[in-house]
Amino acid sequence: MSLKETKKKGYQTLIAIAVIGIAVYLGFTPLFSLVPEGVPQAVISSSFGAIFVIILTMYLLNKQTEVEQESKRGERIFDEKVKLYSEILETTKSMLSDGAISMEEINKLPFPVIKLQMLGGNQSISSFIKVYAKLNEVYQKSEDEFIQITDEEKDDIYSLLIAFAGSCRKDIGISEEDINTSILRNTVNTIIESGKKKRDNSKFTFNGKDLAKNRYVHSVISSYVKDKSPLSINEFNKIFPRDFRGKSHNFEIWKTYDEAIDHYQETGYLRYFISNNQGKDKKAGQQIQGKDLVIDLDDAEVCISSQWDLKGVQDFVEKLKENKIRYE
């Protein structure tokens, strides 16, 4: 029996109890006056009492069934809501984790949103629609297949997601109150600052120009190759060993042009200077225009790493001094 039918039956039983109660109240005394004393009156009294108890028991049992059905329904909906909210948060997590949004990722959201319309509370639905709208806004800002998310956009999305989580918290009954404003703000700030490092804007001077660390290294090496041309790749590696920093593969200080392109296609990130048009951390599949930052050797083309910390550049300068190579 459905919950609706159970409730209907309960209402009918309740009406029957009320009718019997009124009938007994109005007609019991006249009825007794017409029935002889003794056994007949006792039989009528007990019959009315039994009927009343039976109907009352039916109502109570029906009410118990209704409560049990409501409880099971509530438990099922609770489980489905928790599952749905977790699914939505996992989906958005995967979208944000690589710092970019793709068409495949944005197309994962419509069905969870539709399901949210079915199971979610009004406040939860409203909160996530704001998240969805922001993700769409970011994705639509360019026609590229992969859209990079700026730090400012990521901050906005995290703030909206935390508000959504707070709405979910109320909807599933963990709390009847909104998250304290100061707690909400502190949470947003903590997530936003998580994983961030303070930028090191140290400058190094070469040929009278103040340059960023990676540009400084590229300029020094490029100038040296130009002065010493023709220079073979073996001779170049003796002066500037690939594993100068004691690391290999993704952390070598230079790769050949073909190796740098392969690395880009494998990882999706541009960590070697190829062109001034390459930008930063662009997803694989986008075209690199030009080779103006590729250094030409006598028998090879090499690309210098764009990933340098302060200590790495300081060690590089010491190496230049040891080899009496111009570094200013």
| Half-sphere CA count of 186, side-chain side, radius 13 A | 5
User: In 10 A of CB 217, how many CB atoms?
Assistant: 27
| Integer angstrom CA distances of residue 287 from 141, 219, 292, 302 | 19, 24, 14, 19
Is pLDDT at 235 greater than 70 in this prediction? yes
Task: Write the CB contacts of 113 (distance below 8 Å, at least 6 apart in sequence).
Answer: 128, 129, 132
Nearest residue to 20 (alpha-carbon basis) of 44, 55, 60: 55
Q: What's the predicted TM-score (pTM) here? A: 0.44
Average pLDDT over residues 121-138: 86
Please tell me the distance from the alpha carbon of residue 315 to that of residue 238, in angstroms, as a whole number.
16
| Integer angstrom CA distances of residue 129 from 35, 123, 241 | 73, 10, 53
Please tell me the distance from the alpha carbon of residue 178 to that of residue 266, in angstroms, as a whole number.
45
Res. 193 pLDDT band, cuts 50 70 90: low
Among all chains, which residue has been given the structure tokens 């007994």?
24
Is pLDDT at 22 greater than 80 in this prediction? no
Res. 111 pLDDT band, cuts 50 70 90: confident
Is pLDDT at 268 greater than 50 in this prediction? yes
User: In 10 A of CB 276, how many CB atoms?
Assistant: 10
Res. 120 pLDDT band, cuts 50 70 90: confident
Please tell me the distance from the alpha carbon of residue 261 to that of residue 270, in angstroms, as a whole number.
9
Percent of the chain with pLDDT strictly greater than 70? 67
Task: Write the CB contacts of 170 (distance below 8 Å, at least 6 apart in sequence).
Answer: 121, 123, 176, 177, 178
State residue 146 phi and psi, 5-degree precision.
-115, 125
Cα 36 off chain centre by: 82
Res. 66 pLDDT band, cuts 50 70 90: low
Q: What is the DSSP string of 242-294?
A: TTTTS--GGG-SEEEHHHHHHHHHHHS---B---TT--SSPPTTSPP---TTP
Mean pLDDT estimate for the chain: 77
Nearest residue to 183 (alpha-carbon basis) of 157, 168, 156, 165: 165
Q: Higher confidence at residue 314 or residue 54?
A: 314
